[in-house]
Amino acid sequence: MAVRPAWRDNTPFWAVHVVALVGAIWVGWSWAAFAWLLGGYAVRMFAITAGYHRYFAHRTFKTGRVFQFILALLAMSSAQQGVLWWAAHHRGHHKWSDQPEDVHSPRQHGFWWSHCFWLLRANRETHTDRIKDFAKYPELRWLDRHDLFIATAFGFLIYFIGGSTALFWGHFVAIVLAWHVTFCINSLAHVWGSRRYATTDDSRNNPVLAVLTFGEGWHNNHHHYQRSARQGFYWWEIDITFYVLKILEKLRIVSDVQGVPDHVRDGHLAPERARVSAT
């Protein structure tokens, strides 16, 4: 049974929504607002998908300690809890995907619980036993403990750079938008879309979510083979995060960006089609 959200303890979550709406109306829409929104959203979405998800949760590529810290710092500007907390919870999701132990399964708890209410529980412990490989770094443990400070500091930084328009559109509105788009992977991507692979959960491929989340919408692909940094398995499956990672690999900022073996990608095909696809 799902734990009831701790509503009073989550006033900041709802306050960000209110501030984003009121602030956006107050400063108004403009090309500058659009640029700040687009930039704020894009940076956060890449940091969430490449950092929180594909690097810290799944280790699908390698990088040095400095860029590791930068990825964590940028991802935490999205105010989605600490880096170790996020990755540890996600590893738990894959271990028990859509089973009773999965804390954000729409099959088990319904749509709205899986979308965001699960985040509003009183218990927000970081399960360091699931993330020992990264919990050994003191700088990541420090970031994980100061998640609210990091997100707030980014707000002040953006305000000093671009003023009220930057603060409301590039910070608050961008955060709320990034929240609900990424939350859709937990909720909609287990309800709406196609299933190429017969995984044990309800994960689905959704091209609309794939565009909005820079590739995370190829969720059935991902649950079929978690080791890959590429979630759009075929050339027509848009995966912006993977494209950027390949550029960073060329620049030697990251390395060993994992792809998808042919036999894994094409295992759902008839043997004859799989051989044709591999040629």
What tens digit of pLDDT does each residue of 159-189 get? 999 999 999 999 999 999 999 999 999 999 9
User: Which is more confidently placed, 150 or 100?
Assistant: 150
- For the chain, strand residue ranges (E) read 62-63, 254-255
| Angle CA 38–39–40, to nearest 5 | 95
Q: What is the pLDDT of residue 2?
A: 46
Domain residue ranges of the chain, discontinuous segments joined by +: 8-278
Query: Position of tokens 């409301």?
Result: 168
Across the range 123-131, mean pLDDT stands at 84
Query: Position of tokens 């990541």?
Result: 140
Confidence of residue 104 (pLDDT cuts 50, 70, 90): confident
Looking at 1-10, 24-33, 85-94, which range is the least confident one? 1-10
Across the range 107-134, mean pLDDT stands at 85
Tell me the CB-side half-sphere exposure of residue 128, using CA atoms within 13 A. Answer: 9
Residue 270 scores a pLDDT above 70: no
Q: What is the pLDDT of residue 119?
A: 83
Cα–Cα nearest to 269, from 258, 255, 279: 279
| Helix ranges, 96-173 (H) | 106-109, 111-115, 132-135, 138-145, 147-165
Q: What is the pLDDT of residue 4?
A: 57
User: What does the pLDDT look like over 227-266, one tens digit per residue?
Assistant: 999 999 999 999 999 999 999 999 999 999 999 999 999 9
Residue 273 scores a pLDDT above 60: no
Residue 106 scores a pLDDT above 50: yes
Cα–Cα nearest to 164, from 17, 28, 27: 27
| Residue type present at position 202 | D
Identify the DSSP state of 2: P
Looking at 82-86, 133-137, 241-245, 267-271, which range is the least confident one? 267-271
- 213: β partners: none
Identify the DSSP state of 99: S
Q: What is the pLDDT of residue 279?
A: 40
Mean pLDDT of the chain, nearest integer: 91
Report yes or no: 267 and 275 within 8 Å, Cβ to Cβ: no
Which pair of structure tokens corresponds to residue 248? 């960073």
Run of H or E including 219 = helix 219-224
Report yes or no: 89 and 83 within 8 Å, Cβ to Cβ: no
Residue 275 scores a pLDDT above 60: no
